[in-house]
């Protein structure tokens, strides 16, 4: 979603802002803009399209002199992507400029009110309402005007604001959309995410909901919505700036796929102690684990797919009923919470608006939430009662790979821990599973080493119109993720189907040459899936099979086979997903798609 960067200091602001925005490109956007105070007035430049258009327009920022400024990459919500709708937005006198990430839910009545007071609008955005509303309340004291606006608006917002009458200050404001501030000896920064400032500082402050920051060249002051000053402690970011760079890979996505053995190791090993699973962050005693009657897993996108896998794994190993919900559905479906219900929210970014809302809804009803989160200090990480981090490091490509793999590991650990404590997993089975878990990183490495074979196969399908992914049980969950990987970056329509369900309608879409990717890693379901493969093949499908080494019988029904190393069936997703990620990636590369920044998508979906 939208990205915000701001700078006030001794250097020229525009190049710093452009550099910072380039580190937020992964968030997804369709236009970009900057506002810089040039000594006399606030100058704004903005343009639809990629950041490089803005860079060219401003000669790398040279045509926008000044040491105070704010910048923005916009992911359109209200109003089409256009120069007019791009941020920053001015008030009428062009003395105030605002950039915004989020949605102002009551912007229509506010707009009506402002129109009746003589304000004129030049864009279709909800953000322009903020610029005029700040102007309306501004009587010389920016903090007072901003907090009045905060009391009036509903919705989510991270804001960067500058006033030409106060060119020695930038204001940063946050409610339900991420925003951080940082400082070094040359100035102060605001940003939507850490990578934007990492080149300049490692000490950052996470702004909480309903807080305002006044940034000056050499210091920052934090305030509540009631203008009371508060003290905050900085957080030192310990990951390397290189972690957010491509490091010689053609795309972040490829680099991140290659990081999966490490990600899996980092998420797994710290939680294995003396041949046991120790999840201190769980904050649950054995009695509490024994008291769980039901688990809700709530998430979006790939994190939801990890949750679907977890349903099979937790129910199978720990025998606890699991319901998996899309967060956007869960938050409005009035779910039935009973005594002993545990809620698990999974999110890479920790900022997904629907997942955060589901978390809050559960807490409101008195239920504790475990967050499985990748981004340290993110909203879900801070608001969950307990957090189990997936140690995947910064994930930049919009299509998740390594964070998904880390989520699976966290969920396997949870299932095994619960299974053991509840007496559903005997010692032999537990230790054999532990061994299998520890083998996963090496096995993933082997699969990645096979990339050229998958690339050659993928090149044959860059012209495909429809692709189907089928499987049963955990293989169905794998299919869902394989299908999403392909469609989100290559724009080829694809669907995941429970293999047994295909003949209830969807099989009518199979034509001569349609690619069907069949996942068959679960021995207990192998023959059933094989039959479904035969059915689609008989109708002209070209069948790609992903199965375990040794299952050569599959060659009767498949046109092309990818074999994965054997592991415990509950962990098969961690291996089977690797060739499917590579397949989606190489199809997208073959088609010339913008792999890391697919059209219309955002890395963290901070609006509903
Ligand atoms: O940050 P989150 O894990 O909460 O994000 C959830 C989804 O938006 C995310 O998984 C999305 O589906 C990705 N594009 C998948 O690659």
| DSSP β-ladder status, 96-104 and 89-90 | antiparallel
Instruction: Collect all residues with Cβ–Cβ distance below 8 Å to 335 and sequence separation of at least 6.
Output: 296, 323, 325
What is the residue with the minimal CA distance to atom 9 of ligand 1? 301
Three state DSSP letters for 335-384: CCCCCCEEEEEEECCCCCHHHHHHHHHHHHCCCCEEEEECCCCCHHHHHC
Q: Is the pLDDT of residue 536 over 80?
A: yes
Q: Could you give the CA distance from residue 601 to residue 230 in angstroms, rounded to a whole number?
A: 36
Q: What does the pLDDT read at residue 241?
A: 65
Task: Convert the pLDDT of each residue in 273-294 to its tens digit.
Answer: 999 999 999 999 999 999 999 9
Burial, 506: exposed, middle or buried (Cβ in 10 Å; 0-12, 13-18, 19+)? middle
For residue 441, what is the enclosing H or E element? helix 427-448
For residue 230, what is the enclosing H or E element? strand 229-230
User: Ramachandran region of residue 143, left (φ > 0), alpha (ψ -120 to 50) or beta?
Assistant: alpha
Q: Which two tokens stand for residue 113?
A: 């009110």
Q: What is the mean pLDDT of residues 575-583?
A: 98
Atom of ligand 1 nearest to the CA of 399: 16
Instruction: Give the C-alpha distances (Å, rounded to integers) separating 61 from 216, 241, 438.
Output: 21, 23, 50
Q: Could you give the CA distance from residue 568 to residue 318 in angstroms, rounded to a whole number?
A: 15
**Best mutation site among 193, 260, 303, 597 for ligand 1, i.e. most ligand atoms within 8 A of its Cβ?**
303
pTM of the model: 0.82
With beta carbons less than 8 A apart as the criterion, state whether 257 and 581 touch: yes
Atom of ligand 1 nearest to the CA of 603: 14
Q: Which two tokens stand for residue 57?
A: 């327009």
Task: Convert the pLDDT of each residue in 50-71 to its tens digit.
Answer: 999 999 999 999 999 999 999 9
For residue 78, what is the enclosing H or E element? none
Q: Could you give the CA distance from residue 340 to residue 139 in angstroms, rounded to a whole number?
A: 54
Atom of ligand 1 nearest to the CA of 349: 1
Q: Is 294 a catalytic residue?
A: no
Instruction: Collect all residues with Cβ–Cβ distance below 8 Å to 349 and sequence separation of at least 6.
Output: 374, 375, 378, 603, 604, 605
In the reported structure, the alpha carbon of residue 453 is separated from the centroid of ligand 1 by a whole-number distance in angstroms of: 28
Burial, 432: exposed, middle or buried (Cβ in 10 Å; 0-12, 13-18, 19+)? exposed
**Best mutation site among 307, 348, 378 for ligand 1, i.e. most ligand atoms within 8 A of its Cβ?**
348
What is the residue with the minimal CA distance to atom 8 of ligand 1? 301
Give the strand order in the sheet containing 96-104: 89-90, 96-104, 155-163, 170-175, 211-215, 220-224, 229-230
**Best mutation site among 27, 352, 392, 585 for ligand 1, i.e. most ligand atoms within 8 A of its Cβ?**
352
For the chain, the helix, strand and coil percentages under 3-state DSSP, each to the nearest 5: 40, 25, 35
Q: What does the pLDDT read at residue 238?
A: 77
With beta carbons less than 8 A apart as the criterion, state whether 179 and 108 touch: no
Task: Convert the pLDDT of each residue in 253-266 to its tens digit.
Answer: 999 999 999 999 99
Task: Convert the pLDDT of each residue in 472-494 to its tens digit.
Answer: 999 999 999 999 999 999 999 99
Q: Is 188 a catalytic residue?
A: no
Instruction: Name the pLDDT band for 434 (thresholds 50, 70, 90).
Output: very high
| DSSP β-ladder status, 341-347 and 294-299 | parallel
Q: Which two tokens stand for residue 586?
A: 């190489």
| DSSP β-ladder status, 211-215 and 220-224 | antiparallel
Q: Could you give the CA distance from residue 414 to residue 410 in angstroms, rounded to a whole number?
A: 6
Task: Convert the pLDDT of each residue in 36-51 to its tens digit.
Answer: 999 999 999 999 999 9
Q: Which two tokens stand for residue 342?
A: 């545990």
What is the residue with the minimal CA distance to atom 16 of ligand 1? 399
| DSSP β-ladder status, 272-273 and 276-277 | antiparallel
In the reported structure, the alpha carbon of residue 28 is separated from the centroid of ligand 1 by a whole-number distance in angstroms of: 12
Point out the catalytic residue in the list 2, 188, 300, 593.
2
Cis bond before residue 88 (omega within 30° of 0): yes
Q: Is the pLDDT of residue 92 over 80?
A: yes
Q: Is the pLDDT of residue 247 over 90?
A: no
Q: Could you give the CA distance from residue 253 to residue 588 in angstroms, rounded to a whole number?
A: 11
Point out the catalytic residue in the list 148, 485, 591, 603.
603
Instruction: Name the pLDDT band for 28 (thresholds 50, 70, 90).
Output: confident
321 CB neighbour count, 10 Å cutoff: 13
Q: What is the mean pLDDT of residues 82-109?
A: 95
Atom of ligand 1 nearest to the CA of 380: 4
287 CB neighbour count, 10 Å cutoff: 8
In the reported structure, the alpha carbon of residue 608 is separated from the centroid of ligand 1 by a whole-number distance in angstroms of: 13
Q: Which residues line the pocket of ligand 1, CB cutoff 6 A?
A: 300-303, 347-349, 352, 355, 398-400, 484, 488, 601, 604-605
- 423, 427, 429: which is closest to 290 by C-alpha? 423
Atom of ligand 1 nearest to the CA of 400: 16
Q: What is the mean pLDDT of residues 370-376?
A: 95
Radius of gyration, CA atoms only, the chain: 25
In the reported structure, the alpha carbon of residue 418 is separated from the centroid of ligand 1 by a whole-number distance in angstroms of: 26
**Best mutation site among 193, 300, 357 for ligand 1, i.e. most ligand atoms within 8 A of its Cβ?**
300
104 CB neighbour count, 10 Å cutoff: 25
Atom of ligand 1 nearest to the CA of 301: 12
Q: What is the mean pLDDT of residues 568-583?
A: 98
Residues listed for the chain: 608
What is the residue with the minimal CA distance to atom 7 of ligand 1? 301
Task: Convert the pLDDT of each residue in 411-430 to its tens digit.
Answer: 999 999 999 999 999 999 99
- How many distinct helices (H) and strands (E) make up the chain? 18, 27
- 407, 406, 432: which is closest to 419 by C-alpha? 432
Mean model confidence pLDDT for the chain: 94
With beta carbons less than 8 A apart as the criterion, state whether 560 and 229 touch: no
In the reported structure, the alpha carbon of residue 206 is separated from the centroid of ligand 1 by a whole-number distance in angstroms of: 22
Q: What does the pLDDT read at residue 143?
A: 97
Task: Convert the pLDDT of each residue in 320-356 to its tens digit.
Answer: 999 999 999 998 988 998 899 999 999 999 999 999 9
As a whole number of Å, the end-to-end CA separation of the chain is 11
In the reported structure, the alpha carbon of residue 112 is separated from the centroid of ligand 1 by a whole-number distance in angstroms of: 36
**Percent over 90 (pLDDT), the chain:** 87
In the reported structure, the alpha carbon of residue 598 is separated from the centroid of ligand 1 by a whole-number distance in angstroms of: 13
What is the residue with the minimal CA distance to atom 11 of ligand 1? 301
**Percent over 70 (pLDDT), the chain:** 99
Residue labelled with tokens 């790609």: 544
Q: Is the pLDDT of residue 242 over 70?
A: no
In the reported structure, the alpha carbon of residue 284 is separated from the centroid of ligand 1 by a whole-number distance in angstroms of: 28
């Amino acid at each position: 979603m939208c990205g915000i960067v701001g700078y006030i200091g001794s250097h020229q602001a525009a190049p710093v802002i452009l550099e910072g925005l380039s580190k937020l490109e992964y968030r997804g956007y369709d236009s970009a803009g900057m506002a810089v105070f040039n000594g006399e007035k606030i100058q704004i430049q903005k343009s639809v399209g990629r950041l490089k258009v803005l860079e060219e327009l401003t000669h790398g920022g040279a045509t926008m002199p000044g040491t105070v400024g704010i910048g923005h990459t916009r992911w359109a919500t209200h109003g089409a992507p256009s120069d007019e709708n791009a941020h920053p937005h001015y008030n009428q006198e062009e003395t105030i400029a605002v950039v915004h990430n989020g949605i102002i839910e009551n912007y229509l009545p506010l707009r009506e009110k402002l129109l009746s007071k003589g304000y004129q609008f030049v864009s279709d955005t909800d953000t322009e309402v903020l610029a005029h509303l700040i102007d309306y309340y501004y009587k010389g004291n920016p903090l007072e005007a901003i907090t009045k606006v905060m009391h009036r608006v509903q919705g989510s917002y991270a804001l960067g604001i500058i006033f030409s009458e106060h060119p020695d200050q930038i204001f940063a404001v946050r409610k339900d959309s991420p925003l951080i501030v940082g400082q070094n000896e040359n100035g102060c920064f605001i940003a939507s995410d850490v990578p934007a400032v990492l080149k300049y500082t490692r000490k950052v402050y996470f702004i909480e909901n309903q807080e305002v920051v006044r940034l000056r060249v050499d210091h920052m002051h934090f305030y509540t919505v009631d203008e009371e000053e508060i003290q905050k402690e900085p957080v030192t970011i310990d990951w390397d700036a290189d972690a957010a760079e491509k490091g010689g890979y053609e795309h972040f996505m490829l680099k991140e796929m290659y990081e999966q053995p490490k990600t899996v190791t980092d998420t797994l090993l710290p939680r294995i102690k003396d041949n046991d699973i120790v999840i201190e962050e769980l904050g649950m005693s054995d009695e509490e684990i024994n008291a769980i009657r039901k688990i809700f897993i709530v998430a979006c996108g790939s994190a939801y797919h990890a949750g679907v896998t977890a349903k099979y794994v937790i129910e199978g190993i720990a025998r606890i009923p699991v319901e998996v919900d899309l967060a956007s559905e869960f938050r409005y479906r009035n779910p039935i919470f009973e005594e002993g219900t545990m809620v698990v929210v999974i999110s890479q970014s920790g900022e997904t608006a629907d997942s955060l809302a589901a978390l809050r809804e559960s807490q409101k009803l008195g239920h504790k939430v475990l967050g499985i989160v990748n981004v340290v200090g993110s909203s879900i990480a801070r608001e969950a009662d307990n957090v189990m981090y997936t140690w995947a490091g910064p994930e930049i490509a919009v299509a998740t790979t390594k964070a998904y793999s880390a989520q699976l590991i966290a969920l396997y650990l949870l299932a095994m821990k619960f299974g053991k404590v509840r007496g559903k997993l005997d010692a032999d089975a537990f230790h054999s599973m532990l061994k299998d878990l520890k083998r996963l990183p090496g096995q993933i490495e082997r699969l990645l080493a096979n990339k050229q074979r998958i690339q050659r196969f993928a090149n044959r399908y860059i012209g495909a119109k429809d692709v189907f992914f089928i499987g049963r049980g955990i293989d169905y969950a794998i299919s869902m993720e394989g299908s999403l990987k392909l469609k989100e970056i290559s724009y080829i329509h694809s669907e995941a189907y429970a293999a047994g369900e295909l003949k209830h309608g969807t099989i009518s879409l199979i034509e001569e040459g349609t690619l069907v990717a069949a996942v068959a890693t679960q021995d207990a379901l192998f023959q059933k899936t094989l039959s479904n493969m035969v059915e689609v093949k008989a109708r002209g499908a070209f069948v790609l099979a992903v199965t375990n080494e040794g299952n050569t019988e599959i060659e009767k029904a498949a046109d092309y086979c990818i074999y994965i190393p054997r592991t415990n069936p509950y962990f098969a997703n961690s291996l089977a997903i690797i060739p499917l990620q590579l397949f989606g990636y190489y199809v997208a590369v073959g088609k010339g798609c913008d792999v890391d920044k697919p059209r219309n998508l955002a890395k963290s979906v901070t609006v509903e």
